[in-house]
Amino acid sequence: QSVLTQPPSVSAAPGQKVTISCSGSSSNVGNNYVSWYQQFPGTAPKLLIYENNKRPSGIPDRFSGSKSGTSATLGITGLQTGDEADYYCGTWDNSLSASYVFGTGTKVTVL
């Protein structure tokens, strides 16, 4: 059971904006960098955002990340049909069982 909570699904029309929240605690999101991953069915995850708000080379600026306190947010603007995928946040957790934790995952649907 993940310690990072994401909404199961979000949806919007093409061209619109969606945001995906990632809620954690002081032992993970609150004190460590957050990253975000995009995964299409049957394929490997792909890094979208690292260190809270940085984009790897090749990731369009339609994707953005932010963090405030114990929550992080992924934003996707100018939504495209090709953005339909699952999205996961992730971070290190400093609790007794130190480990890397992923969010529960969010399915983005383009209406």
Partner 1 sequence: EVQLLESGGGLVQPGGSLRLSCAASGFTFITYGMSWVRQAPGKGLEWVSSIHGGGGSTYHADSVKGRCTISRDNSKNTLYLQMNSLRAEDTAVYYCARTRGWIPWYFDYWGQGALVTVSS
Nearer to partner 1, 45 or 75 (CB): 45
Sign of the torsion angle spanned by Cα atoms 72, 92, 64, 84:
negative
Beta carbon of residue 13, minimum distance to partner 1 (angstroms, whole number): 26
- E strands in 44-105: 46-49, 63-68, 71-76, 85-93, 99-102
- Give residues in contact with partner 1 (CB under 8 A): 2, 32-33, 35, 37, 39, 43-47, 50-51, 56, 88, 90, 92, 97-105
Nearer to partner 1, 43 or 81 (CB): 43
Pairing of strands 106-110, 9-12: parallel
Beta carbon of residue 32, minimum distance to partner 1 (angstroms, whole number): 8
Beta carbon of residue 15, minimum distance to partner 1 (angstroms, whole number): 28
Nearer to partner 1, 21 or 39 (CB): 39
Give Cα 60 to chain centroid, integer Å.
Answer: 15
Residue that is written with structure tokens 């029309």 in the block: 13
